[in-house]
Chain A
Amino acid sequence: MDILIQNLLNALQWGSFYALIALGYTLVYGVLLLINFAHGDIFMVGAYIAFFVATALLGFLDFAPWMVLALTVPLTMILTAGVGVTLERIAYRPLRRKGAHRLYVVITALMCGLILENGNLALLGASRKKFPELLDKVIYTFGNVSVTNLKIIVIFAAIAVFLLLQFIVTKTKIGMAMRGISYDKFAIPLMGIPIDNVIVFTFVLGSGMAGLAGLLFAMSYPILEPYMGALIGWKAFIAAVVGGIGDIRGAFIGGFLLGFIEVGVVALFPSTFRDLFAFSILLVILWIKPTGLFGVAKTTKI
């Protein structure tokens, strides 16, 4: 029983990372119908930005660790959002202006991700970075179950972000504009809605979430390397698809589902089977429901 609860908590933490990244994927897809394949690498960039910001604050300003943490969170999110928006401006917007085929945009995104990964490797070298300790570890034990304060923070951050996004998309004006763009891209500018601003805002939201995820990930697993975003990015994307891409609830639930599957597999089988089982189960889900759990089947009018 204790082992079950312990694994459940681990799965919640692991799923939180997936959910945070999957939310970013889903937001961009929901508005632009574009798979932003660079998103996993934006997460990686977020972790690195967090590393540099935190070491700079610790080294130059000599703050207390909790102060550093309080400053690092918004700074990381803002800077990472800047990276995401830059990508959108340099790579995606010209293509959108030309009205290029969707596929070309997807390939561009894939290549941007590769540039971020390998550019990082080429500039900073292959040595792994050790993330500084920002939070004094507090371990709460209930019987045989132990929870660190970081784990609780991660889980609550994921839930808070989900609620915030849900609120923005369903209750505010800009959320309405987002939904409108995904519904009909051509009629929306005629209604006087600044389509580019809305898209930039979407990228700000998604990349900011990725930056937060990167920071939390670096705090939980404090070794950084340039390829850390690749596999997690792909998996989070698959989680978003399983949930039904373009749907915020779907991304959230898909991320946690993937976390549960992976932790469950590691608990029952040798850990090398993790990827195999995760991907197989996801394939089966997609076989049964081709548009994901919450996805709506698209009908083509003839």
Chain B
Amino acid sequence: MQKYSFNIGIWAMAAIVVTLSQFGALDLYIQSVIMFIGINIILSSSLNVVNGYMGEFSCGHAGFMCIGAYVSSVLSVMFFAQDKIFGAPILPPELAPLGFPIIIIIAGLVSAVAGLIVAVPSFKTRGDYLAIITIAANYMVISAIENMDIIGGPRGFMGMKRVLNAMEDVVDIPWMMIWVILGTFASIWMIRRFVSSTYGKGIMSICQDEVAAEIMSVNTNKMKMAAFMLSSGLAGVAGALFAHVLGYVNPQSFNIMKSTECLVMVYLGGMGSLGGSILSAIFFTVMLELLRFIIPAIDTGLHFLNLLPDSYHLSQVWKWVLIPLTLILLMQFRPEGIMGNKELPDLFPRLKKFYKFK
């Protein structure tokens, strides 16, 4: 029983969050922050499979997120909502709660297939050239979607809120919160399993020395393909959840900036540390939200002290100066990130009693 107490605790926490949101104890803003934390956990831990465990440098993660977001949005609007473009819903909207997880899984699968764009060239290319290919893939996805006028092109796509309303008509519970929590748990579980399997060992061996791994009969191509497809598939799941939480998607919200956010989270947490990814995703999201309130406070403080000219106000853009600055300082003084490549039980051995770590 003691071994499972950690898992039970996590599920209990999730249940508490859902009940609190159900009875309106958490306001909508806090709820959305919690949902974004979940989505960011999926993003950072899935990018960690490629960038941390496999040691490649992929910086086009948001492209796959974009594919997942669009595929899921189009499917859910097509099947469960009345829409100007797609007309009447194909299935009765009462089925939305059943259909939604299937749609998310389909979005993940489509993104995983799209991951082949990067996986196939990665057999031959390595390092910097692969970085280019991932960036190019990111741009290609965005630009392809901007050229599809039927799903809105550069204007974006909406209508997912109607699907949520259809779900809430069936049973009135915070559906999106439940899906995000389930998706987060499922993806962490998958990555955990993947990394501790034979595949995971193979991927870590690629990180250490690819040539040696190949000689020791690791099928590097297969391993790379599996890692890239898992990573991009989970990014697609994150994108699908993101699209339905916001209720609106726009290709430009998945540009290089978003990919950079994922990179920041991975390297903040530590390469090849799942616990680090989770912690850094939580830290990063909360930090971003806190800066919303901190920056105006600093602004009023400085104006009060007459340190700034009256015409100039600190804007929210400073957030995007502070975040890269943190990462630069991190790279200077602790390049391995918060956790390095250790997990929580390695740092606190007492946790092993409560946490079945396999």
**Do most interface residues of chain A lie in helix, strand or loop, or is the interface mixed?**
helix
Contacts of A118 in B (CB 8 A): 317-318, 320-321, 324
Q: Are the CB atoms of A286 and B332 closer together than 8 Å?
A: no
Minimum CB distance partner of B266 in chain A: A107
Stretch with Cβ within 8 A of A (4 or more), from B19-27, B72-80, B135-143, B176-184: B135-143
**Is A121 part of the binding interface, using a Cβ–Cβ cutoff of 8 Å?**
yes
Q: Given the interface contacts A100-B335, A122-B315, A122-B321, does A286 sit within 8 Å of B135 by beta carbon?
A: no
On whether A276 and B144 interact (CB within 8 A), knowing A110-B260, A115-B325, the answer reads yes
Please judge, given known A-B contacts A122-B317, A238-B136, whether A273 and B147 are in contact too, CB under 8 Å.
yes
Shortest distance in angstroms between A232's beta carbon and chain B's nearest beta carbon? 13
Contact with B along A101-119 (1 / 0, CB 8 A): 1011011101110110011
Q: Does A141 contact B (CB under 8 A)?
A: no
In the complex, which of the residues B132, B142, B332, B335 contacts A238, with contact meaning CB atoms closer than 8 Å? B132
How far is A245 from B130 in the complex, measured between Cα atoms in Å? 13
List residues of A (264-279) whose CB comes within 8 Å of B's CBs. Answer: 270, 272-273, 275-276, 279
Q: Does B131 contact A291, Cβ atoms closer than 8 Å? A: no
Chain A residue nearest to B327 in the complex (CB): A111
Question: CB-CB < 8 A to B189: which residues of A?
Answer: none
A238 to B145, CA, bound (A): 21
Q: Which residues of B contact A292 (CB under 8 A)?
A: 129
Smallest beta-carbon distance A138→chain B, Å: 36
Determine whether the beta carbon of B328 is less than 8 Å from that of A286: no
Residues of chain A contacted by B135 (CB below 8 angstroms): 234, 238
Interface size band for A: 35 or more
Known: A118-B317, A275-B139, A279-B143. A237 touches B332 (CB 8 A): no
Say yes or no for B87: interface residue by CB 8 A criterion.
no
B64 at the interface (CB under 8 A from A): no
User: B147 contacts A35, CB within 8 Å?
Assistant: no
Determine the chain A residues whose CB is within 8 A of the CB of B147 once the complex forms. 270, 272-273, 276
Asked if A122 and B57 make an inter-chain contact with CB atoms under 8 angstroms apart, the answer reads: no
Contact of B121 among A106, A230, A238, A283 (CB under 8 A): A283
Instruction: Enumerate 24 A-B pairs (CB-CB under 8 Å) in ascending A order.
Output: A29-B128, A35-B128, A95-B332, A100-B331, A101-B335, A104-B335, A106-B57, A107-B331, A108-B327, A110-B59, A114-B260, A114-B323, A114-B324, A118-B317, A118-B318, A119-B321, A241-B128, A241-B129, A272-B153, A273-B147, A276-B140, A283-B117, A286-B133, A291-B125
9 tightest CB-CB pairs across the interface, nearest first? A111-B324, A118-B320, A122-B317, A275-B143, A276-B143, A114-B324, A279-B136, A290-B125, A290-B124
| Known contacts A273-B147, A302-B215, then 5 further A-B pairs from the complex at CB < 8 Å, ordered by chain A residue | A95-B332, A111-B324, A237-B132, A238-B132, A241-B129
- A residues near B (Cβ < 8 Å) are 29, 35, 91, 94-95, 100-101, 103-104, 106-108, 110-112, 114-115, 118-119, 121-122, 230, 234, 237-238, 241, 245, 270, 272-273, 275-276, 279-280, 282-283, 286-287, 290-292, 300, 302
